[in-house]
Each structure stands twice: as structure tokens, then as C-alpha cells.
Amino acid sequence: MSAARSVQATGTSEPTLNDRLFAALSRFLAPVGRAPWWLHVTLLYAGARFVSFVIFTAAGWQAEASPWGGQRPGYLEFINRWDAGWYEKIFNHGYPDSIPRNPDGSAQPNEWAFYPVLPVLARGVHAVTGLGWAASGALVATLAGFGAALVIYKLFRNFAPAATALWGVAFFATFPVSPVLQVPYAESLGMLFLAGALHLLIRRNYWGAMPLVILLCLSRPAGVPFAAVVLLHLFLRWRNRDSSPFPRRDMLSGGLLLLVSVFMAVAWMLVAWWVTGDRSTYTDTETSWRGTELVLFKPWFDVGIELAGPFWGPLLPVLLVGLAGLYLNSRAVRRLGPELQMWCGMYLLYLLAVLHPQSSTFRMLLPLFPLALAAAFISPSRAYRWTVVLMFSLLQIVWIVWLWQYAAIDTGVGWPP
């Protein structure tokens, strides 16, 4: 009997080259599969940040001269743009004793719009290593991003098995605006403290959440929606106290967490008032970029009218709220639990109230990171999940080339990221 007939008779065949390569790759990756969860998250996040590094570097080679440097800047010079320049001023000189004003009395943009934790930590790195602002700020932001990814994984594990939680972290790490997590901005610090505070709130560790809330509110303006979530969380515990005990010690510590959250929501405004003697320092500074006073919710209707005219324009924010409400009540988002669902809703409401919608709005959506886990819940299909990661990674190119560059390659117009 020939060899071919012998193989056919026994039902076996010689392994192909692809089979051998797959087997070798499986043996090579086997130790990674047995590695602890924190190593999985670290490797995943490092890979995502390397992709962003490559995109930044390639975009820098195409960049024209800007207020922050000349043509073809290197990586550190290229990422030290936009708001990073304001943090650099704080790093070098601190905050001004008074805010600069125009002849008509309106405030000029100044450092008081930016929170102190990032430049303070960068000063600490500088004191230890001698590194300048660009390297110190980027190092703090990048390390905080790694920490945020680890804490987000632990947060997601409250609601999902390990594999799904890891996919949620992958969506967060590759989100189109995720490159901001490695530049000298405070977003990565905000994500680290926010994820930790939400995790401890869900675990009912109110004492542990308090210092994280303080750090969060001195890193990014997130105190108002977080205080609202704490209030709703305590209300739900009180309402369900017959079926789920709400002991007095939790009432006390939870109430104190609520007070801390409410106070920290306005703490930076009070600090600015105390230093400058002007009680409207913070609000005037924040609105100096838009050129108008703060009127809650109005900017969204104004932009709607600019985009769609006086008839359809006012309906755009209403449509946006309706679509957001439908999604936040979808099955995938409900699986996040009431606290994360409430956080997403309260944060969106906060943005609708105070934000002037423009190109930086995309970056402002990053605190909605719990929706990354909801996106993983939509389908367990690997094809779907890898497609999301691939599309997010490609959209990073759009974000960096369109917004991060001072003058975009295609239009020659710069928009703040």
C-alpha cells in the first residue's frame, strides 16, 4: 500500500507549514497565557501606547512649524503642545496672583483653568531625575495611564469575567483619543483617580474613596458628576436597606464621602478666589476661550443652529440627549451596574451643562470609559472585538493628524485637541 493510501486509511495527514507555525506560536505564547492578570493588562496597554507612539512620530515628521517648535519635531517636542504648554508654565512659574484681563474687563486665557496635580508630580520627577518639563510631564502621564489601565481592569472585573474585562481595557487603551494618555495632559491622572474612586464606591469602601476623590478633583473637573453619583448611590442603599443592610457606620462614612465630593467639586474655584482675591477667577478663565459668559446648556443649541440652521438646529441637542438616553438604558450598559451607568449619565449631563462643543469635545468623552466594557458586552465575537480595536487604532491617526498638529495636513487649519 502506498504512503498516500496509508495516510488516507488512518485518517491522518502530515502537518502543514501553517500548522507547525501555529503550534510554535502557541508554545511561545503559552507562558503569557499563564501570566498574572496585571501582566496581561500591562502588555496590552504597552502595545497600545507603542502604536500611538509610532503615529505621533510619523505625524511629527509631517508637521509644520508651530508656536511650540519648528518643523519635524521629535516625539517629546511634538507631544508637548496645546494644553501641555499651559501646564509647562505652571511647572516653571506656578499660578499668577491675578488673572490678565482685556480692556473691556473680560479675562484672558491663563493658567487657572488647569489643575495642579500634574505639574506638581512633574516637579517631583524633575527634582529626582533632573529631567525637564517635556520628559517629566510625559513620564507622569504615561505611568498614570498604565496605572489607570490596571485599576480599570479591576473595576471591570466587578461585572465581567477576566477575558471580557481585558477586552474592555483594550477598547479603552485604543480609543481614538487615547494617545492623550501619554502626553503631558492630566487625562491619564484623571482616569486613574476616577476609576479607583468608582471601584471603591462600588465596593462600599467610602473611606478609601475619599483621598482619590480629592486627587481627582485637583486633576480634572469631575467633582460635580461624581458627587451626584455618590448621592444616588447612597439613596439606592437607603431605599433598599430592608433587603440589603445599610449599617450606620456606612451611613456615616458614605455621608462624609458625599460632603468631601461636594466640597472638592468647588475647591479649585475657592483656591483661585483665595489666591487672586477675585471670586470669579476660575469661571472667567474657563470661559475666556469661548469669549462669552457661562450659560448652562446654551452653547449646544448655539452650535446646533450654526450647523443646521434656526429650525433644525435646536433639535440637534434634543436628538443627542434622546440617543444617549436610549443607549444608556440598553442591555449592554445596564450590565455595568447602577453606579457606572449613573456615572456615564451624570457626566454626559455635566458636559451638556457646561461644555462649549468644539473639537476638544472628543477628548472630553474619555471619562466615559465604562462604556468600553459595555461595547465588549455587545458581542463575544472575536471578529467584532478585533474590528473595534483596529478601527479605534486607525482613528487615532485621524485624531492626531487632524487635531494634534497645529495645522492639519489636508486643510491647513488648526483645531485644538
Average pLDDT estimate for 67-95: 94
Grid cell listed for 104:
473691556
Contact 210, 257 (CB under 8 A): yes
Contact 348, 324 (CB under 8 A): yes
pLDDT given for residue 409 in this prediction: 56
pLDDT given for residue 10 in this prediction: 47
Q: Among 228-232, 362-366, 402-406, where is mean pLDDT lowest?
A: 402-406
pLDDT greater than 90 at residue 170: yes
DSSP 2: -
pLDDT given for residue 9 in this prediction: 46
pLDDT given for residue 5 in this prediction: 46
Other Cβ atoms less than 10 A from the Cβ of 17: the count is 7
DSSP 205: -
Tens of pLDDT, residue by residue over 304-357, are 999 999 989 999 999 999 999 999 999 999 999 999 999 999 999 999 999 999
Of residues 175 and 8, more confidently modeled: 175
pLDDT given for residue 226 in this prediction: 98
Q: Among 58-72, 159-173, 202-216, where is mean pLDDT lowest?
A: 58-72
Average pLDDT estimate for 211-215: 98
Average pLDDT estimate for 393-403: 94
Tens of pLDDT, residue by residue over 271-309, are 999 999 999 999 999 999 887 888 999 999 999 999 999
pLDDT greater than 80 at residue 74: yes
Grid cell listed for 24:
510554535
Average pLDDT estimate for 186-195: 98
pLDDT greater than 70 at residue 3: no
pLDDT greater than 90 at residue 221: yes
State the Cα–Cα distance between residues 162 and 167, nearest whole angstrom: 9
pLDDT greater than 70 at residue 410: no
CA distances from 215 to 105, 367, 373, 409 (A): 33, 15, 25, 38
The band of 27, judged by pLDDT with boundaries at 50, 70 and 90, is low
pLDDT given for residue 24 in this prediction: 61
